[in-house]
Structure 1
């Protein structure tokens, strides 16, 4: 049963990570700063998950990247494209709508279980 739960948790988390990452790219971020921001918000993400996600978002033209070589250690910064910002707002709206609907369903389940 644990394997099924683990699999379902991963599936549930996958979509939320994309939205979480997009939410933090309204201002330019480099990989490590993004990991820190997400972890501070209670959303842990491994770099091995983050970088492929960033590459996919860039390929989908939701995110653009640029190198900052002004410091001793060059950093690649990511930020939402205009298209990415537009899609983020739509996804956010859909997420909030789905969350409210799901909350209503789950709250109803709690009422049934407590009787």
Structure 2
């Protein structure tokens, strides 16, 4: 495996762990899948529909999301929103995220790594 392949693999692992919190962060109000893909993209988080839809189903199955079909449009849409449990879990994830970011920034800064990737 060359350097680029190593980086690509590690970036994929990192993204998998962060997409969940990104998705949860946007579901305080109901959104359907495609609108969520677009919203995340606008905010700089690229997620493929083939990644998002299974994640939404898994989060719903875990009780973190609730869903409701809207059949009033020409095309039925399934809207997702945080459940009460999902809101609490999201809050806890945010606290943990802040802690992780602080710790890693300390580690990265102490190693002299340029966070902008300029060298």
TM-score class, shorter: over 0.9
TM-score by length of 2: 0.90
* SS class of match (2:28): coil
Q: CA RMSD in A?
A: 1.0
1:99 matched to which residue of 2? 101
Moved over 4 A (4+): none
* SS class of match (2:46): coil
Which of 47, 63, 66 matches 2:65?
A: 63
Counterparts of 1:90 and 1:77 in 2: how far apart (Å)?
24
1:86 equivalent in alignment to 2:88:
yes
1:59-93 per-position Cα deviation (integer Å, ceiling 9, x unaligned): 10000111011111111000000000000000011
How far apart are 1:10 and its partner, in Å?
Answer: 0.5
Counterparts of 1:83 and 1:102 in 2: how far apart (Å)?
28
1:24-43 per-position Cα deviation (integer Å, ceiling 9, x unaligned): 01110000110011001100
Counterparts of 1:6 and 1:72 in 2: how far apart (Å)?
40
How far apart are 1:6 and its partner, in Å?
Answer: 1.1
Counterparts of 1:68 and 1:110 in 2: how far apart (Å)?
52
Q: Structure 1 unaligned runs (5+)?
A: none
TM-score by length of 1: 0.93
Query: What is the number of residues matched between the two proteins?
Result: 111
1:34 matched to which residue of 2? 36
How far apart are 1:53 and its partner, in Å?
Answer: 0.4
Higher helix content, 1 or 2: 1
Q: Structure 2 unaligned runs (5+)?
A: 114-119
